């Protein structure tokens, strides 16, 4: 059962709809229920196996903690983890960047007041200069979380006291140091690069928050720091340990889902404008096809030569690449040209910022989302490769169909709403109100035969002929996507028959539809694409209400 499908936005979801066939996707978070303490033994085994190298990578959706990382400007906030959190002591935590700040907040709950000094994708970490206030916050914090590896050297220069403070340096945990210059420059680039901010990592990749292994080690180190700061027998220690156990359950889901992708033989080849998420892509088994000369140029003070750029563009456009990875914070002329090559060749584009995006709540949720976008194996929930979307005909929807709206109104679907409430963030009544808006329609029956569609309202039927008008891929702010297949009425259109029709049914290629959501309009396809709240849903007319309930619950 899903609240969010390839066409139908889930409750409390904002959408960013892009109606181009090839679009970028912005990472966002989705949720599933948290694990409870009963999984701890299993989790301990899985995590131990992971560290031993027995388990490969991961993808899973977690429920975001009610806490959020602090607002822009680095103002401290406490997590609102609810009545469960019992804190006989609280502590201040300062993270150099919000990637680690969000993890520190999730693990600390209400017992931790977390400040992230860089907390927005609008801030360029490569040009960041710490203020005196920033350095003072670092020096005064009970717990300090640094990225290390040369990424946040300005924070490492603060007057930290290892005898008084608990300091977690993730680069040190991973044995990664800035062995070569990690410089940040703002310079006038070559052709198409004017005003581009260059950041040179040399042979070191400091983006360790994209490494699932580093995230696991950081979580363990932060939890240890919290327990030590609070005292092992304190209520605070018990609270943060509970949060850590819950996080471990989410991490186990992450591991299991990536292993599922590997077991299914998923192979992904990618090109990246820069190596920002290479740790994560390596973890899920993806293969980097970026020309080494291009990567070396982008990671050093040199610019890619014209030949290097052309080689990279040709590879992106070729059959051997599935995905282009871009960093929207660093879209200079060279990156834009690769992006254009991906669009023109109908390739999937994954957009990954350096900082945790504003619409993300947790680091692990963000990594999970990107991994799901890269694996692209969950079409039902809107994760698929752009190049896998194919044209469809009206024959995929042929048959006699009934609206599910009457079953919502008469209470037949109440068990569905109750099931959603057990897993989701709303009550059964709130879900019913949400689906009342989504399912609402006065078209009780649709019959599709050949290239004709008949619409029955109040016993009156109107029939029109329709031609196929292609498909559109829509990107949602949550990070998943949907496909609508468009049909336009031809000739004289009788009253009661819509001029434009759009189908969405979880499918992205030819195949008989088991049910569908339909968008109907009397103006244009583009105008109808803007409809996000009302998606009348139809199942075969031969199915009873009870059978429809069973089918919905099975999703």
Could you give the percent of the chain with pLDDT greater than 70?
79
Q: What is the pLDDT of residue 40?
A: 41
* Same domain assignment for residues 111 and 231: yes
Inside any domain, residue 122: yes
Mean pLDDT on 316-343 = 90
Q: Judge whether 484 and 467 are in contact, CB under 8 Å.
A: no
* pLDDT value for 47: 40
Would you state the pLDDT for residue 545?
Answer: 96
Read off the tokens for 140.
């005064």
Closest CA to 258 of 166, 180, 375, 370: 375
Residue 126 pLDDT class (50, 70, 90 cuts): low
**Does 452 fall in a domain?**
yes
Residue 355 lies in a domain: yes
pLDDT at 28 over 70: no
Of the residues 256, 275, 290, the one at which a domain ends? 256
Return the pLDDT at 296. Answer: 75
Question: Mean of the per-residue pLDDT values for the chain?
Answer: 82
pLDDT at 404 over 80: yes
**Can you point out the beta strands (E) in 151-209?**
166-169, 183-186, 197-200
pLDDT for residue 119: 87
In a shared domain, residues 498 and 429:
yes
CA dihedral 115, 117, 121, 124 (to 10 degrees): -170
CA atoms of 397 and 507, how far apart (whole Å)? 11
Q: Alpha-carbon distance 3 to 116, whole Å?
A: 32
pLDDT at 44 over 50: no
Tokens of 551: 């089918």
Greater model confidence, 292 or 16: 292
Confidence of residue 355 (pLDDT cuts 50, 70, 90): confident
69-73, 160-164, 305-309, 343-347: least confident range: 69-73
Residue of higher predicted confidence among 314 and 127: 314
In the prediction, which pLDDT does 178 show?
Answer: 67
So what's the pLDDT on residue 524?
Answer: 96
Predicted confidence (pLDDT) at residue 185 exceeds the cutoff of 50: no
Residues 133 and 277 occupy one common structural domain: no
Instruction: Examine the pLDDT at 30 and tell me if it is beyond 80.
Output: no
Max mean pLDDT range (12-26, 156-170, 532-546): 532-546
What is the C-alpha to C-alpha distance for residues 351 and 325, in angstroms, rounded to an integer? 6
Mean of the pLDDT values across residues 356-360?
A: 86
Distance of CA 421 to the CA centre of its chain: 22
Residue 1 lies in a domain: no
Q: Are residues 210 and 292 located together in one domain of the fold?
A: no
- Asked, for residue 126, whether it belongs to a domain, the answer is yes
Per-residue model confidence (pLDDT) at position 502: 98
**Mean pLDDT over residues 442-460, rounded?**
97
pLDDT category of residue 300 using cuts at 50, 70 and 90: low
78 sits in the region (left: phi over 0; alpha: psi -120 to 50; else beta) called beta
The whole-number average pLDDT for the span 8-35 is 38
pLDDT band at 301 (very low <50, low <70, confident <90, very high): low
Q: Are residues 111 and 224 in the same domain?
A: yes
Q: What is the pLDDT of residues 469-498, one digit of tens each?
A: 999 999 998 899 999 999 999 999 999 999
Residue with the bigger pLDDT between 351 and 332: it is: 351
Domain boundary among 218, 235, 256: 256
Rounded Cα distance between 438 and 422, Å, is 20
pLDDT of residue 511: 96
Residues 544 and 436 in one domain: yes
What band does 23 get if pLDDT is binned at 50, 70 and 90? Answer: very low
- 108: Cβ contacts below 8 Å, ≥ 6 apart: 79, 91, 93, 114, 222, 226, 240, 243
Do 244 and 285 share a structural domain?
A: no
219 and 307 belong to one structural domain:
no
The reported pLDDT for the residue numbered 45 is 37
Are 318 and 435 in a shared domain? Answer: no
> Which one is predicted more confidently, 513 or 60?
513
Q: 480: domain range?
A: 394-554
Work out whether strand 91-97 and strand 500-504 pair parallel, antiparallel, or are unpaired: unpaired
537 and 481 assigned to the same domain? yes
Structure confidence by residue, pLDDT tens digits, 243-259: 999 999 999 999 998 99
Domain count, the chain: 3
Q: Which of 84-93, 207-216, 307-316, 456-465 has the lowest mean pLDDT?
A: 307-316
Give a yes or no: residue 38 inside a domain. no
In a domain, 217, yes or no: yes
User: In the predicted model, what is the mean pLDDT of residues 246-273?
Assistant: 93
In the block, which residue shows the tokens 């070559």? 190
CATH code (residue 283): 3.40.50.1980
**Could you tell me if 272 and 341 lie in one domain?**
yes
More confident residue, 308 or 407: 407
Of 83 and 458, which is predicted with more confidence?
458
Query: Higher-confidence residue: 19 or 201?
Result: 201
pLDDT band for 180, please (50, 70, 90 cuts).
very low
Average pLDDT over residues 148-160: 87
User: Does 236 have pLDDT greater than 70?
Assistant: yes
Given a cut of 90, whether residue 238 has pLDDT beyond it is yes
Half-sphere exposure of 254 (CA within 13 A, CB side): 31
CA dist list (Å): 421 to 3, 32, 150, 273, 414: 11, 12, 46, 42, 11
**Residue 519's domain is classified under what CATH number?**
2.40.128.20
Mean pLDDT of 457-461: 94
User: Residues of the chain with pLDDT > 90: what percent?
Assistant: 64
Q: Which of 179, 130, 182 is nearest to 156 (CA)?
A: 130
Question: 372-395, pLDDT tens digit by residue?
Answer: 999 999 999 999 999 999 999 999
State how far the Cα of 479 lies from the Cα of 499, in Å rounded to an integer. 31
Q: What is the mean pLDDT of residues 32-59?
A: 37
pLDDT band for 163, please (50, 70, 90 cuts). Answer: very high
C-alpha 49 chain-centroid distance: 26
Predicted confidence at residue 325, as pLDDT, reads: 95
Residue 211 falls inside a structural domain: yes
Indicate the DSSP class of residue 8: S
The pLDDT confidence band at residue 84, using thresholds 50, 70 and 90, is confident
Mean pLDDT of 110-136: 86
Are 402 and 369 found together in one domain?
A: no
């Amino acid at each position: 059962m899903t609240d969010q499908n390839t066409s139908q936005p889930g409750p409390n979801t904002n959408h960013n709809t892009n109606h181009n066939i090839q679009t970028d996707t912005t990472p966002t978070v989705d949720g599933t229920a948290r694990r409870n303490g009963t999984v701890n033994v299993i989790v301990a085994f899985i995590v131990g196996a992971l560290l031993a190298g027995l388990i490969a990578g991961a993808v899973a959706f977690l429920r975001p903690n009610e806490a959020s990382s602090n607002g822009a400007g680095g103002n401290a906030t406490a997590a609102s983890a609810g009545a469960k959190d019992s804190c006989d002591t609280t502590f201040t935590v300062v993270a150099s960047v919000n990637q680690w700040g969000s993890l520190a907040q999730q693990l600390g709950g209400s017992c931790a007041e977390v400040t992230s000094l860089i907390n927005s994708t609008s801030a360029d970490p490569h040009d960041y200069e710490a203020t005196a206030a920033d350095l003072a916050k670092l020096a005064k914090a009970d717990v300090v979380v640094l990225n290390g590896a040369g990424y946040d050297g300005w924070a490492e220069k603060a007057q930290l006291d290892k005898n008084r403070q608990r300091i977690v340096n993730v680069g040190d945990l991973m044995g990664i140091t800035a062995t070569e210059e990690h410089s940040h420059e703002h310079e006038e680039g070559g052709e198409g690069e004017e005003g581009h901010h260059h950041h040179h990592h040399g042979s070191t990749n400091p983006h360790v928050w994209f490494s699932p292994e580093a995230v696991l080690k950081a979580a363990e180190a932060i939890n240890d720091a919290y327990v030590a700061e609070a005292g092992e027998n304190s209520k605070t220690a018990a609270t943060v340990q509970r949060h850590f156990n819950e996080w471990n359950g989410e991490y186990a889901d992450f591991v299991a889902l990536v292993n599922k992708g590997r077991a299914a033989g998923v192979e992904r080849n990618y090109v990246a404008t820069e190596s920002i998420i290479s740790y994560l892509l390596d973890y899920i088994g993806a293969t980097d096809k970026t020309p080494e000369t291009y990567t070396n140029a982008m990671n050093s003070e040199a610019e890619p030569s014209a030949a290097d750029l052309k080689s990279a563009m040709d590879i992106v456009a070729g059959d051997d690449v599935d995905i282009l990875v871009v960093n929207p914070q660093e879209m200079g002329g060279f990156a834009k040209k690769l992006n254009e090559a991906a669009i023109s060749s109908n390739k999937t584009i994954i957009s990954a910022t350096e900082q945790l995006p504003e619409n993300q709540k947790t680091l692990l949720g963000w990594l999970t989302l990107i991994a799901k976008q890269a694996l692209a194996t969950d079409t039902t929930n809107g994760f698929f490769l752009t190049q896998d979307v194919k044209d469809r005909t009206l024959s995929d929807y042929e048959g006699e169909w009934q609206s599910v709206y009457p079953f919502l109104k008469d209470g037949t679907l109440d068990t569905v709403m109750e099931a959603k409430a057990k897993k989701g963030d709303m009550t059964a009544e709130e879900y019913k109100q949400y689906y009342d808006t989504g399912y609402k329609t006065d078209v009780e029956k649709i019959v599709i035969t050949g290239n004709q569609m008949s619409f029955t309202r109040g016993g009156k039927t109107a029939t029109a002929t329709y031609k196929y008008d292609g498909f559109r891929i829509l990107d949602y702010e949550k990070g998943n996507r949907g496909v609508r297949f468009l049909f336009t009425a031809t000739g004289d259109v009788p009253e009661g028959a819509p001029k434009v029709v759009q189908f969405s049914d979880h499918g992205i290629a030819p195949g008989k539809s088991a049910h569908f959501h339909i968008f109907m309009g009397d103006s244009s396809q583009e105008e109808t694409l803007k409809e996000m709240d009302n998606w009348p849903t139809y199942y075969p007319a031969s199915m009873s209400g009870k059978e429809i309930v069973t089918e919905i619950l099975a999703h």
